[in-house]
A and B are shown apart, each in its own frame.
Chain A
Amino acid sequence: MGPAVSDQRPHLESFLMRESLLDRAVERSTETPVFRMLPDSYVIKVGGRSIFDRGREVVFPVVAELSAALDDGRKLILGTGGGARTRHVFSIGIDLGLPTGVLAQLAAADALGTAHMLGTLLAPKGVVAIPPEIFGHLLPLFLHAVPGVIYNGLPPYSIWEHPPRVGRIPPHRTDAGCFLLAECFGSKELILLKDVNGLYDDDPRQNPDAVFIPEIGVAELRRRKLRSLPFDPVILDLLEHARLLKQFRIVNALQPGNLRAAFAGEKVGTIVHAD
């Protein structure tokens, strides 16, 4: 392929040469089917505040269930949250007036700390925390060599994090990072391990009549305008525009057997699906 000149600019021959990549018609023409890199993998987000911050009593049974899944031959990509430490560093950073990008950069350290805690407990399985700098590029290699890997669930947005619509909290946190990773690598499923059963039509702690929602679509969930969600709200945007990952599941890790049931395809937790 040689250079082609027609608008006083030299181009390398390709179907995008000479085109503005911002032209909507050009953009639409690039909607090709997507190759799945790791179709047998599961991405599992292990909550920071919801699981790890509760200590041994909650963490050990979760580790036992993860170990059992690894023994069953499931390939697990485990992302971790930063929990209370991230909330704390956000509060100090906000008080100091630091911007969203800096808060995002700071949060990476807390989630990485949790990743190393989980990596210590799963070390007997050969499952350890991978440094974020090499994690993405080497992920397929690792998963081929060991039953699972752990990383800090954060996307590497750091100081390039987007300023949010409201306030200063980074919108792409560890749930979002796990979603984006599962979407890019074409994982089989994304499971968010939390301390709630899933979604209810009202806060079950305040309203005993709150009704559990086993499955819901993005549009319907947006329409209900729930006051709070047990996951990063931005993943609804990501799900809307996903090409491979058409749903994710919230599972209560405080109830033993839930994770095993989820792997077995049983109805457990709440499934949020694309419309």
Chain B
Amino acid sequence: MSEALLTDLGARLVTGSLSDEELLADTGTSRPVQILPDANVVKIGGQSLIDRGRAAVFPVIEELVANLPDHKLIIGCGAGTRARHAYSIGLDLGLPTGVLSVLGTFVSSQNARMIHYLVARHGIPFIEPAQFAQLPLYLEERRGVVFFGMPPYTFWQRNPETGMGRIPPHRTDTGVYLIAEVFSSRSMIFIKDERGLYTADPKKDRSATFIPEITVSELKALDLQDVVVERAVLDLMETAEHGRRIQVINGLEPGTITKALNGEQVGTVITSD
């Protein structure tokens, strides 16, 4: 049987156990391909930007569109205050985390549709998870796409750790980040409403200090009460093959998006160790 298979690893995969650590280690040894290495993944925050309406959203859209000639953009959208509203009611009703994930998907989908209509005149499409096969064509032809940030886990969303509540732990930061990881994109930029990462929530704690650059392990060692990106992203960065650098920037400050796309060190840069 084994001689009919392409590789020795193939024969071991067909007959062996996928919980065997030695076998698993050998599945990571082939040289990875980079699927879309010149595309940039950017995320527009929900509560941080889209919920603020025109004053915050229009300048962000304008700056993203201005960068299209130089940068291909895969634009993911966050959820925001309506997701918090739905989660609040859902939690009170005792709905499972998987159902809350469905509710969060609806809200981030609404936001993606609104952002899409604002960039529609540039020929940029909105794609749902089933349409990601068309993404390379759209990027080549129109240099941008808009998608909703929630990963499509729906009822299969994992629970948070016991005792850490029941809000879906893999939300829009994670979903957008995983697109950057799987396509091995050039950059992963989170556009939010703060300069970047602080030692505490700067909206509530005036003494919070800004952190321009940090590694995942350093950040975890700080054991912050609050962080600027979903903790799941930090966990995934530890095992990621491609997505080893993310940048969190302030979309309310004009010019920051352009700087980040040009590779400048603005906001906070978090790297895998």
Contacts and interface: CB of A to CB of B under 8 A. Distances in A.
Nearest to B181: A163
Interface string A93-118: 01111111110000000000000000
A157 B182 CA distance: 12
A169 B27 contact: yes
Interface residues of B, number: 88
A99 B181 contact: yes
Q: From DSSP, what is the main secondary structure of chain B's interface residues?
A: loop
B52 to A, nearest CB: 6
Contacts of B67: none
A11 B31 CA distance: 47
B87 interface: yes
B216 interface: no
A20 interface: yes
Contact of A243 (B81, B88, B159, B193): B159
A183 B32 contact: no
B85 A184 contact: no
A177 B96 CA distance: 16
Most buried by B among A19, A96, A159, A180: A159
B97 A101 contact: no
Interface string A163-181: 1111111001100010011
B167 A14 contact: no
B153 A160 contact: yes
Contacts of A57: none
B34 to A, nearest CB: 9
Contacts, number: 248
A180 B132 contact: no
A28 B226 CA distance: 12
B92 interface: yes
A247 to B, nearest CB: 15
A interface, by DSSP: helix, strand, loop or mixed? loop
Interface in A1-52: 1, 7-17, 19-35, 37
Contact of B21 (A97, A133, A166, A173): A166
A248 interface: no
B231 A22 contact: yes
Interface of B: 5-7, 9-10, 13-14, 17-21, 23-28, 30-33, 35, 47-48, 51-53, 81-82, 84-85, 87-89, 91-99, 102, 129-130, 132, 151-167, 171, 175, 178-179, 181-182, 184, 193, 201, 203, 225-231, 236, 238-242
